[in-house]
Structure 1
Amino acid sequence: MKPAFAFSAAFMALFALPAVAQEPKANCKNPQTQMEMNICSQRDYETADKALNAQYQTTRKAMRKWDADSSADLKGAEDALVKAQRAWVVYRDAQCISSGFQAHGGSMEPMLISGCQADLTRKRIAELKELTEAMGN
Structure 2
Amino acid sequence: MTPRPVRLALIAVLPLLAAPASAQWSPPSLCDARSDKFAAETCLQEALAKARQALQLSYAKARSVIATDAETSPDQKAKWEQDLTASQRAWEAYRDADCGDLILDEWHSGSGATYAQMSCVVSKTQSRAAELSSRYASQ
* TM-score normalised by length of structure 2: 0.65
The one of 72, 75, 98 aligned to 1:70: 72
1:45-124 alignment runs, 5 A limit: 45-66=48-69, 69-71=71-73, 74-75=76-77, 76-97=79-100, 98-124=102-128
Shift, 1:106, TM fit: 2.2
The one of 123, 126, 130 aligned to 1:126: 130
Aligned to 1:44: 47
Identity across aligned pairs (percent)?
30
Relative to 1, partners in 2 of residues 1:100 and 1:50: Cα closer, same or farther, differing over 3 Å?
A: farther
RMSD value, Cα = 2.2
* TM-score normalised by length of structure 1: 0.66
Higher RCO by CA contacts (8 Å cutoff, separation 6 or greater): 2
Count of aligned pairs: 107
Q: Distance in 1 between matches of 2:104 and 2:46?
A: 17
Q: Distance in 2 between matches of 1:124 and 1:105?
A: 27
Unaligned 5+ segments in structure 1 are 1-27
Q: Distance in 2 between matches of 1:65 and 1:92?
A: 29
Q: Distance in 2 between matches of 1:111 and 1:61?
A: 35
Relative to 1, partners in 2 of residues 1:108 and 1:42: Cα closer, same or farther, differing over 3 Å?
A: farther
Q: Which range is displaced more, 68-77 or 119-128? A: 68-77
Residues 55 and 129 in structure 1, CA contact (< 8 A), matched pair in contact too: yes
Residues 51 and 125 in structure 1, CA contact (< 8 A), matched pair in contact too: yes
Question: Deviations for 1:77-103, whole angstroms, at most 9, x for unmatched residues?
Answer: 111111111111111111111234332
SS in 2 for 1:49: helix
Question: Deviations for 1:21-65, whole angstroms, at most 9, x for unmatched residues?
Answer: xxxxxxx69522223222222221221111111111111111222
Unaligned 5+ segments in structure 2 are 1-30
Moved over 3 A (4+): 72-75
